[in-house]
Structure 1
Amino acid sequence: MAAYHYYIFMQKVQYIKEHHKLKATVLSYILVSLAGLATDIYLPSMPHMATSLHVSDQQVQLTLSSFLISYGISQFFVGSLLDMYGRYVLSMISLVLFSASSFLIAASNSIDIIILLRVIQGITIGFIAVAKRAFFVDVYEGDKRKYYISIITIVWSVAPIVAPYIGGYLEHFFSWRANFYFLGIYSGLIFICEIFYSGETLGSFSKFKIKNVLSSYKVLLTTPAFLVGMGMAGISFGVVMIYGLSGAFILEHNMGYSPVAAGYAALVLGLAWMCGGFLAKANLHKPLFKKTLIATLVQIIMVILMIAAAYFGTNIYTLIAFAGIIHFMSGFNFTNYFTRNLTMFPNMAGLAAGVTSGGNYIITSLLTYTIAWVIQAQNQEQLGFSYAIAIALIMLIFIIFQKRKGV
């Protein structure tokens, strides 16, 4: 009965107008990048957030890990819901909830409430991101579809680069709360634009068949090459997030740099990650085994030098120089394995993308929070050891599976 009433309701929902297609496309790119903005904008504010709320560094880091875990888990099931109930209404509801939760976080003095709200934000971003990725499949065809979808990766990479830069200045001139006020206002404005220029894009609504869904999941999750790709992508992204959890604390608390400087440092590391992705795209035709081996060996060398250099003195330049090369190679490895997973099952591209992305964020969040909790990096040497654990896991997976065909 509820499904019937929803079906009747959907008959009244506005569909996207042809003359608004370009504007709706721009809005979709903006919303795809919202995940990166929500993840990274407050990284330079984390030290002051801990001080303001009178909590430990680890409790503040949990606000990021909880967001990533809920975002990852949500992507496992939201695709089916969006195919059944449409893209527009669910993404609009999610956008309202995200905006409201941002204002609530900004006004809260309880770390437990903030963590809970970040979990809600992760779920809402999951709905928004998957819905807007599906937008390009719904609206465009042929070469246009390939063209617009190829831009998603670039747009997605830009947000984590500029977000800490913006957040550093918001922290400098206002406080950590300004980051979440910004997210609330930003998402609220996008919501208004969506009302005027966007709409439903799904032509026909599918019926939920649990057997078919479970069968598809079984195919993906019992394919060794797919699991290896998800693991390698998750750990590679985790290498970057290790700095995200610890970098600002090291630069601001222990080296005495400002949040603005921490924002610039994150900007440089984000560019390094993106450049690694571009290098991977330019070399997609080359053997995966050889590429992974070279990139991982470079990372191992940089970690050893990073730890050794710490005994002779450190500053923001040495830390970012070593971390930049490590992040560059992580972006290279991530793009190689993430791209392979997305193209491995062309008949289940949407599900493969959701599971890969969801699994990636779950692995990343669990790995990085565990490492941050165990090592609690306070300087360049300890950050180097944190990187070493993640890179050792990459090398272990590589050694175990490299001899197996198709993996």
Structure 2
Amino acid sequence: MLEQSLQPRYKKIATYLALAIIPLSGVATDIFIPSLPTMVKDLHTTESTIRLSITLFLVSYGLSQFISGALVDAWGRYKFNIISMLVFIASNVLIILSDSIELILIARFIQGISAGAIATAKRTLFIDVHDGEKLKHYLSIMSIVWSLGPIIAPFIGGYLEHLINWRACFAFLGIYAFIILILELIFSGETIKHYHELKIKPILDKSLIMIKTPDFIYGVFICSICYAMVILFGLVSPFIVEHRMGFSPVVAGYVSLILGFAWMTGGFIGKALMKKDFLPKIQRGNAIQFLFIIAMLLTTPLRADIFTLVFFAFAVHVCSGFMFNNYFAYCLGRFPNMAGLSGGLVGGMNYILCSIFSYGLTWGINPQEQSGLSIAYFILAGGILIFLLLTKRSKSAFVK
């Protein structure tokens, strides 16, 4: 069963299954965000320690994609994906049964490794079975669908926390993955066209070529900074909304839901403007983002409540989603002959850098109010501007 090839009649179903599983990493990252304050109490730990459950997931998710990219090119996509899904399901069972924060952190690290392997294997399906405009269409759709995770996960998690407890969030993850696994076994199969021998030196050489390509590596940095804004908000917003403002986990879930729609809105705008000149539209997105962040900084001393928090964060995240959608799709399709390796490199670096930027800012600035969050946003937007300037100076072929 694990050696079966994708049947042509199931090509469309397999594509939809890949789209269904793409949001899994975002769901696994964000579903228990409204439960963070409760988990601090239940597990007798600290805010910084419980935040590590997100950071460790992102780090292992990123590291996994570095390795997985080469492995799926050497061993194939299908078997690798099935085994990874089984590991992902097992990690959720371990978290549900555990009362130890240390064991939960280990399980989250393992969960990130398996989620990264799943993401790498399924992303390559689009490149394996589609080409031309169809490929561009699905890569753009994939980025938008991926954004569904951060949209629906905290909303679902807020209600699961309110109606049951935080462990129900991980039960949901396990059940969802199990259903997709069954459908994968029935309808999906191997899609790789050419196997690449697993040799360390050629892999490192190819990776070095990608890293030395300016438009590719600068794009990866921009993607990671854009997503760091989302993760940063997820790390600090439950404590701002629930502790500082006194709202419930359900309200925190709704706030994350609204911000998720902001990211998705940016993705749709990016898709609509796909044919516009690449660099100018990204520069305009960054400029508009700066305007909202500066307005957020200036108005916070006058008014800072849940409405202003959501309004300004929404605008900032729309811009981030717009820039991410464009650059992520571009980077994934930049090296089509090394799809698995390049996909792993893009995803791996994106999440590792994202975790460094987001957790570094929560540790360095530790935003406890809207003012601190706006400062962190300003720093991240400045990082995007720097890499856009570097991209323009590099005179990359795609820049118009």
Distance 1:138 1:334, change over 3 A: closer
Which residue number corresponds to residue 143 of structure 2? 153
Give the drift of 1:20. Answer: 4.2
In structure 2, relative to structure 1, the CA distance for the partners of 1:262 and 1:221 (3 Å cut) is same
| CA distances 1:103-149 after superposition (whole Å, capped 9, x unpaired) | 11122122221111111111111111111122334445666555544
Match of 1:396 among 367, 386, 398: 386
Q: In the alignment, residue 86 of structure 2 is paired with which amino acid?
A: V
Distance 1:345 1:24, change over 3 A: closer
1:296 aligns with 2:290: no
After superposition, the C-alpha distances for 1:345-381 in whole angstroms (9 at most, x for unaligned) are 3443443332122111111011100101112211111
Q: 1:19 Cα shift?
A: 4.7
In structure 2, relative to structure 1, the CA distance for the partners of 1:92 and 1:342 (3 Å cut) is closer
d(CA) in 2 for partners of 1:238, 1:378: 17
Q: Which residue of 2 aligns with 1:197?
A: 187
Distance 2:231 2:126 in 1: 28
After TM superposition, the structure 1 stretch with the greater mean CA deviation from structure 2, 314-323 or 296-305, is 296-305
* Structure 2 counterparts to residues 304-319 of structure 1, below 5 A: 304-319=294-309
1:113 equivalent in alignment to 2:99: no
User: What residue number does 1:58 align with?
Assistant: 48
Following superposition of structure 1 onto structure 2, how do residues 351-366 of structure 1 map, counting pairs within 5 Å? 351-366=341-356
Paired residues of 2:34 and 2:252 also in contact (CA < 8 A): yes
Partner of 1:312, secondary structure, is coil
The one of 208, 215, 224 aligned to 2:205? 215
* Structure 1 SS opposite 2:42: helix
* 1:48 maps onto 2:38 in alignment: yes
Matched residues, percent identical?
44
Pairing partner for 1:124 from 114, 120, 123: 114
The answer for the alignment partner of 2:17 in structure 1 is 27
Alpha-carbon distance change, 311 to 229 in structure 1, aligned in 2, over 3 angstroms: same
Instruction: Quote the residue 2:256 is aligned against.
Output: 266
Write the mapping of 1:82-101 to structure 2, written as runs, cut at 5 A.
Answer: 82-101=72-91
Amino acid at match of 2:223: A
- AA at the equivalent of 1:319: L
Deviations 1:198-227 (A, max 9, x none): 333335644223333222111111122222
Match 1:67 to one of 32, 38, 57? 57
Alignment partners' CA distance in 1, 2:156 and 2:234: 15
Give, in whole Å, the separation in 2 of the partners of 1:111 and 1:193. 33
- Taking the aligned partners of 2:387 and 2:154, their CA distance within structure 1 comes to 32
Q: Residues 220 and 145 from structure 1, CA distance in 2 versus in 1: closer, same or farther, beyond 3 angstroms?
A: closer
Q: C-alpha distance in 2, partners of 1:339/1:194?
A: 24
Q: Write the letter of the residue equivalent to 1:89.
A: K
Shift of residue 398 of structure 1?
3.4
Post-superposition Cα deviations, 1:249-283, rounded to whole Å, max 9, x if no partner, equal: 11011111111111111111111111112222333
2:357 is matched with which residue?
A: 367
Q: Residue by residue, what CA displacement relative to the aligned partner does 1:165-194 show, whole Å, maximum 9, x if unpaired?
A: 111111111111110111112212222333
2:314 to 317, 324, 334: 324
Unaligned runs of 5+ in 2: none
Q: 2:167 aligns with which of 164, 177, 184?
A: 177
> Pick from 220, 232, 235: which aligns with 1:230?
220
1:37 is matched with which residue? 27
Structure 1 303/145 Cα, relative in aligned 2: closer, same or farther at 3 Å?
A: closer
Q: Aligned residue for 1:245?
A: 235
1:382 & 1:238 partners in 2: Cα distance? 15
Q: Structure 1 counterpart of 2:235, which letter? A: L
**2: distance between equivalents of 1:305 and 1:73?**
37
| TM-score, structure 1 normalization | 0.90
Q: Aligned pairs, how many?
A: 397
TM-score after normalising by structure 2: 0.91
CA spacing shift, 1:18–1:169, aligned 2, 3 Å: same
Hey, what's the Cα distance between the residues in 1 that align with 2:394 and 2:69?
32
Work out the CA distance in 2 between the residues paired with 1:82 and 1:264: 38
- Contact 2:124–2:343 (8 Å) recurs in 1: no
- Give the equivalent residue in structure 2 for 1:405: 395
Q: CA deviation at 1:14?
A: 3.3
In the alignment, the residues of structure 2 paired with residue 144 and residue 356 of structure 1 have an alpha-carbon distance, to the nearest angstrom, of 21
How far apart, CA to CA, are the structure 2 residues paired with 1:16 and 1:94?
18
2:344 alignment partner, SS class: helix
Amino acid in the other structure paired with 1:29: L
Alignment CA distance shift 1:402-1:13 (3 Å): closer
Given that 2:285 and 2:322 are in contact with CA atoms closer than 8 Å, whether structure 1 keeps it comes out as: yes
CA contact (8 A) 2:72 2:340 kept: no
